Amino acid sequence: MSTLTSALDGVLRRTTEAAGGVPGVVTILTDRQGTIHEGSAGVRAVGSGDAMTPDTILSLFSCTKAITGVALMQCVEDGLVSLDDRADRHVPEISRTQVLDGFDPDGTPRLRPPTTPITVRHLMLHTAGFGYEFFNADIRRYRTYANSLGAPRGTRASIDTPLTFDPGTRWQYGVNIDWVGLLIEAVRGQRLGEAFRERILDPLGMHDTAFHVTDAMADRAATMHQRQPSGEIVPIPSMMQRTPPQIENGGGGLYASAQDYAAFMRMILNDGSGAEGRILKSETVQSMVRNGLGDLASGGWISANPTLTNSGEYFPGIRKSWAYTFQVNDEPAPTGRPAGSLAWAGLGNLFYWIDRQNGIAGFWGTQILPFHDISSYPGFVEFETTVYQHLSRNGTLRDR
């Protein structure tokens, strides 16, 4: 066993076996050629004997966003849409969205039209003004008033939120990419999953990726868990989507294996080239991985629902921007990740990074709430740090 394999497997064991650890975790590390290391530890569900394995099916949550971003850029390449198009040209219902300007004393929301229209670019960069109810207390209050609080993924109501500022004036993470998914459906004339399957998933060999847990995936699917305030970890199998949803959320609806997601990350490392041919033009990938915010910056988040997320930020004190559709660390990270790398996460404590400078990418997958978990996130940071320590010492991640 190589030193790197031994070190990474040790991180997984500590994350699952320590007091307060996660039920199970699966990881994968890849370079441009293929998988360098894949690992797993723990179980798919508390109380089960089903071991976590590299082909375990995970709810990706917002790791879905990058795939939707690629699908949108394919539409740009095909001349179906421009990033500067008004979004309502393709999804007219978005024009009804208004800006939330506070609340009257009786709790009635104050709404007004936005001063500028939402563009496709605003949606891709999270500058349209949309948020999430679990990250924004005003949106949570509005959705409580509208009796739509907690609308589940896969429903139209899940993305019906007001804006919290005028488009283009700030960065705020929210349901933007769900709207991008609807836009792709409109210009392609097909369901989002069909567009993914035809143009991304099948060409990349991602046969374990879908917007619901199919019969072929069910026996390998991990269960979502909830960490209680007491520290107890409780399975919540009801969160698993077993039937096709009403809408296929481009912002967070996919299920996949870590092995499948590694194939997607490799495509980004390889400038749009996949196992079965080219997914995107090289120049399109180059445009996707650059900061698109200009003088704006992306940052952390404040919890508006502690059952779903803790407050937090990746690498506080380091400037971070946004690309189409990844976070970019504009300065080197303490893990060893160089400036200009791409990264993001999923609500169930899934994390990934794509380092195009060194030609490596890593994925960490758990299924536990709330987000920014006290065990899973530090485990991911240790996983990534271990990779760069090995790279620094040896100059390579592959056995010689």
Domain regions of the chain by residue span: 3-63+209-394, 76-184
Residue 114 to residue 129: CA distance in whole angstroms: 9
pLDDT tens for the chain, residues 1 to 400: 589 999 999 999 999 999 999 999 999 999 999 999 999 999 999 999 899 999 999 999 999 999 999 999 999 999 999 999 999 999 999 999 999 999 999 999 999 999 999 999 999 999 999 999 999 999 999 999 999 998 888 999 999 999 999 999 999 999 999 999 999 999 999 999 999 999 999 999 999 999 999 999 999 999 999 999 999 999 999 999 999 999 999 999 999 999 999 999 999 999 999 877 899 999 999 999 999 999 999 999 999 999 999 999 999 999 999 999 999 999 999 999 999 999 999 999 999 999 999 999 999 999 999 999 999 999 999 999 999 999 999 999 987 5
Q: Return the closest-CA partner of residue 9 out of 41, 35, 57, 31.
A: 41
Residues 6+ apart with CB under 8 A from 322: 125, 126, 171, 291, 292, 293, 298, 328
CB 202 within 8 A of CB 276: yes
Q: Does the annotation mark 173 as catalytic?
A: yes
Q: Which of 65, 321, 375, 376 is catalytic?
A: 65
Q: Return the closest-CA partner of residue 141 out of 166, 171, 109.
A: 109
pLDDT more than 70, % of the chain: 100
Q: Which of 40, 59, 62, 341 is catalytic?
A: 62
CB 227 within 8 A of CB 369: yes
Residue 390 to residue 362: CA distance in whole angstroms: 14
Q: Return the closest-CA partner of residue 70 out of 295, 362, 324, 314.
A: 324
DSSP secondary structure code for residue 222 in this structure: P
Maximum CA pair distance of the chain?
A: 69
Tell the CATH topology of 3-63+209-394: Beta-lactamase (3.40.710)
Q: Does the annotation mark 320 as catalytic?
A: no
CB 39 within 8 A of CB 6: no
From start to end of the chain, where are the E strands? 24-31, 35-42, 57-59, 99-103, 109-112, 225-227, 233-235, 255-257, 273-274, 277-278, 320-322, 327-329, 341-346, 350-355, 360-365, 368-369
DSSP secondary structure code for residue 18 in this structure: S
3-state class (DSSP) for residue 230: coil
Q: Return the closest-CA partner of residue 298 out of 276, 316, 277.
A: 316
Q: Does the annotation mark 62 as catalytic?
A: yes
Residue 262 to residue 390: CA distance in whole angstroms: 20
Could you report the per-residue pLDDT of 254-312, keeping only the tens digit for each? 999 999 999 999 999 999 998 778 999 999 999 999 999 999 999 999 999 999 999 99
Q: What angle separates helix 3-17 from helix 376-394, to the nearest 10 degrees? A: 170
Q: Return the closest-CA partner of residue 41 out of 17, 6, 7, 5.
A: 17
Residue 193 to residue 94: CA distance in whole angstroms: 21
Residues 6+ apart with CB under 8 A from 230: none
What's this model's pTM, rounded to 2 decimal places? 0.97
Q: Which of 59, 132, 158, 173 is catalytic?
A: 173
| Other beta carbons within 10 Å of 336 | 17
Residue 208 to residue 264: CA distance in whole angstroms: 12
Helix (H) / strand (E) element for 12: namely helix 3-17
